[in-house]
Amino acid sequence: MTRTDEKVGYLPEGKPVEYTPFTAASGVEEVIRMLEGRWKLLILFQLFGGKLLRFSDLERAIPAISQKMLIQQLRQMESDGIVTRLVHHQVPPKVEYGLTEWGQSLCPMLDGLLKWAERRPRAGNPSPAG
């Protein structure tokens, strides 16, 4: 008999995943693919902190993005499970975007990446690792 976690493709809590160099690299490449794009990180940073923003609010917050590109990026992030789209059935229609719990969990990861980048040694000024 097949276990439920094998049927639905997730591992139960407490069961550590053991990565090989290949599977680790593949996993990181998949995450980078989800976040690549000129605007996705900007959209994420607008939505961090549990904010729910209407489409027009996101347009105002990122003035250089076109409507078409904003729609495209939001749809991709929604299909990847990072962004949620909340439709309020009213007149006029109201749609809000926010981060899923999983999307919100990116915040400390990106903060760590930013702090790591700040420690980058500059040319002619190498600093010791650590």
In three-state secondary structure terms, 81 is: coil
Measure CA 93 to chain center: 26
pLDDT for position 25 = 95
Which tens digit of pLDDT belongs to each residue from 65-112? 999 999 999 999 999 999 999 999 999 889 999 999 999 999 999 999
Least confident among 10-14, 21-25, 100-104: 10-14
CA distances from 82 to 15, 111, 112, 113, 116 (A): 24, 17, 18, 18, 23
